[in-house]
Structure 1
Amino acid sequence: MRDPREKLVWASKRFTEKPEDVAYSLFGIFGVHLPVIYGETKQKALGRLLEKIVAQSRDISVLDWVGKSSEFNSCLPADITSYGSTVVLPCPSEDEIQASIVSLQVAVDGTVALELHDKLNGTNHPGFSNQRLHLPCIVFRVTQIKGRRHQLEDGEIYFTYDVKANGLRDLPTITTSKRLPFLQARPAAQKFLLVRPWDRRLLELPDFSDDAESMDDLSPSPSPSDSHGGFFEEHESLDSGRTLRLIARLKRPFRAFLLAQQYGEQYTRIISEHDIIAEIQETTSESIRDIIDCVKTVEVV
């Protein structure tokens, strides 16, 4: 197993006598070197390990899980067993990608597609600092949340939420065991975001984990004024195909995170009982321009 998340799914079915060893026993498997501090909580030990894995692999799929969030950071799970219950989204076939590209050639202006590619290619990698996650992502502003409280026969309480966000199709109902910190009388008091964590593998660079090597394989990015003419035609085989493939993959359903504003520009992840699967509403030149403006790095605590 080479993929970090594949290793975590495997580890989610194993058990250790000491709680902290759920993290310590994986140091060798992931090739990390961290101090062993017996007596620290399982959540902190696992948090330190996952923080290191994200830093080394730059793989945002480590953040894909369902369960209880960690005290270390809300984007990390409290228990490694959370990696055993997520949905694996199907990868599109090459025929599906090519069919999508054909339709995009008509709907999307080539210079806009190239601008999106350059914007995403210029984003930073995800990383932690003082237990805060700096997450590059595409941000979709939540415009409406409707919540309902439910009580089962055994007295258990849970909540469901219908969420709408700019640029996304209607989402499936989000279920959580906790009430969202949302005041119906003051909907502007707190900001909510649905974000798509940015996965550099969608750029299909030769080696997405090696910046220097990857950047050497790309032509210099044109300025907007240079993109309207010979440049895009001259590099059509390199840029048009690559950029339209990127948009074809962005059109596919993706796993989204629901974030709630805490203070300033810091956010916390709201955990649903199930994966939140979202899909872009449309792919036109105008909607792609909106996406370009929504490429940001969000700080999650």
Structure 2
Amino acid sequence: MRPSSTNFALVVRLYDRLYELLVPSFANQRMRLPCLTFKLGPVSGTRSPTGYVFRARTGALGIVEITTTEDLSQLDSLTLVHPWIDYLLDRHPVGRIPETDPENTSRQSSSTGDAPFLSGPCNTIHVVRPGRASRIMSSITWPFGGSDTHTLQSPTPVSLQEKRTEVLRFIARLRRPFGALLFTRNRQNVEEYRRVATGSLITVQVEELTATVLNKVIEGAGMLDVL
């Protein structure tokens, strides 16, 4: 089902906003990461045999259920991050590592039972082998710290009809479940973040693309400073 004309205009706005973002970079022990961010509301948690189970709400993702060994209730804020911007735009870097494609990762995870996709508004963070999520983090878009040959392909001019087709494909990719990362602010009142729950594979999905949800997603599109 295609979005209404109003919602389609918002999708185009999001599409253009993502194209304006800079590529990831490292400087002064900080990473500048283009991404979509989804701030979680207050978490409520219970003990489980493997650690903790937390539940929280976010405007665009609905209710998120988190299973992790870390006590997230001790953190002041939590933000889920969608780092797969090149995948959403179908804009792959030269020398891209195929296995870092979120769609490929999703199929592999689903086949091994690590992170089955869930239907409905409730999503789960599944605990997986330590280091796996860290390897995903190190190869988002292109291998950080690697050769400068891993650069983005230059965009080519497209017609209005071609752009409409690209945006429709973008909508389809935006609706798919994706592997997210979990961050918290490093200090209060400072826009610097550090990653938490690094041993967890996070699978979430954007809810129905209503005007309210799309506006929240647009608000969350930007560059994140990661320590």
State if a TM-score over 0.5 links the two structures.
yes
Matched, 1:274 2:213: no
| Pairs aligned (count) | 169
Q: For the structure 1 residues 202 and 245, does the alpha-carbon distance in structure 2 shift closer, same or farther, using more than 3 Å as the test?
A: same
For 1:173, what is the secondary structure of its paired residue? Answer: strand
What is the distance in 2 between the residues matched to 1:104 and 1:208? 29
Which residue does 1:166 correspond to in 2? 59
Pick the aligned partner of 1:241 from 145, 165, 170: 165
The CA deviation string for residues 45-96 of structure 1, in whole angstroms up to 9 with x for no partner, is xxxxxxxxxxxxxxxxxxxxxxxxxxxxxxxxxxxxxxxxxxxxxxxxxxxx
CA distance in 1, matches of 2:157, 2:216: 25
| Aligned match of 1:88 | none
Which residue of the partner structure matches residue 149 of structure 1? 47
Whose strand fraction is larger, Structure 1's or Structure 2's? 2
Runs of 5+ consecutive residues of structure 1 not aligned to the other structure: 1-102, 184-189, 220-233
Q: 1:127 aligned to 2:36?
A: no
Q: CA deviation at 1:286?
A: 3.5
Query: Which amino acid in structure 1 is aligned with residue 15 of structure 2?
Result: H
Alignment of 1:104-115 (within 5 A): 104-106=2-4, 109-115=7-13
Q: TM-score, normalised by structure 1?
A: 0.50
Provide closer, same or farther for how the CA distance between residues 128 and 285 of structure 1 changes in structure 2, counting only shifts above 3 A.
same
State whether structure 2 residue 122 is matched by structure 1 residue 182.
Answer: no
Q: Secondary structure at the match of 1:171?
A: strand
Aligned AA for 2:176?
A: R
Deviation at 1:158, TM superposition (A): 2.6
Q: RMSD between aligned alpha carbons?
A: 2.5
Q: Is 1:192 paired with 2:78?
A: yes
The residue identity in structure 1 corresponding to 2:185 is: Q
| Helix, strand or coil at the partner of 1:128 | strand
Displacement of 1:261: 1.0
5+ residue gaps, structure 2, are 95-150
1:117 & 1:275 partners in 2: Cα distance? 26
Q: 8 Å contact 1:192–1:261 — kept in the other structure?
A: yes
Distance in 2, matches of 1:135 and 1:181, equals 25
TM score, norm. by length of structure 2: 0.65
SS in 1 for 2:2: helix
Residue 191 of structure 2 is aligned to residue 265 of structure 1: yes
Q: What secondary structure is seen at the aligned counterpart in 2 of 1:143?
A: coil
CA distance, structure 2, for counterparts of residue 271 and residue 147 of structure 1: 15
- 8 Å contact 1:124–1:136 — kept in the other structure? yes
Counterpart Cα distance in 2 of 1:286 and 1:181: 28
Question: Residues 180 and 244 of structure 1: is their aligned pair in 2 closer, same or farther, counting only changes over 3 Å?
Answer: same
Q: Could you tell me the percent identity over the aligned residues? A: 27
Q: Deviations over 1:172-217 (max 9, x none)?
A: 33212x323626xxxxxx2221111133132124x64455x532x1
Residue 275 of structure 1 aligns to a residue whose secondary structure is strand
**Which of 119, 135, 139 is 2:37 aligned to?**
139
Contact 2:44 2:55 in 1 (8 A): yes
Q: Which amino acid aligns with 2:157?
A: L
Contact 1:165–1:194 under 8 Å retained in 2: no
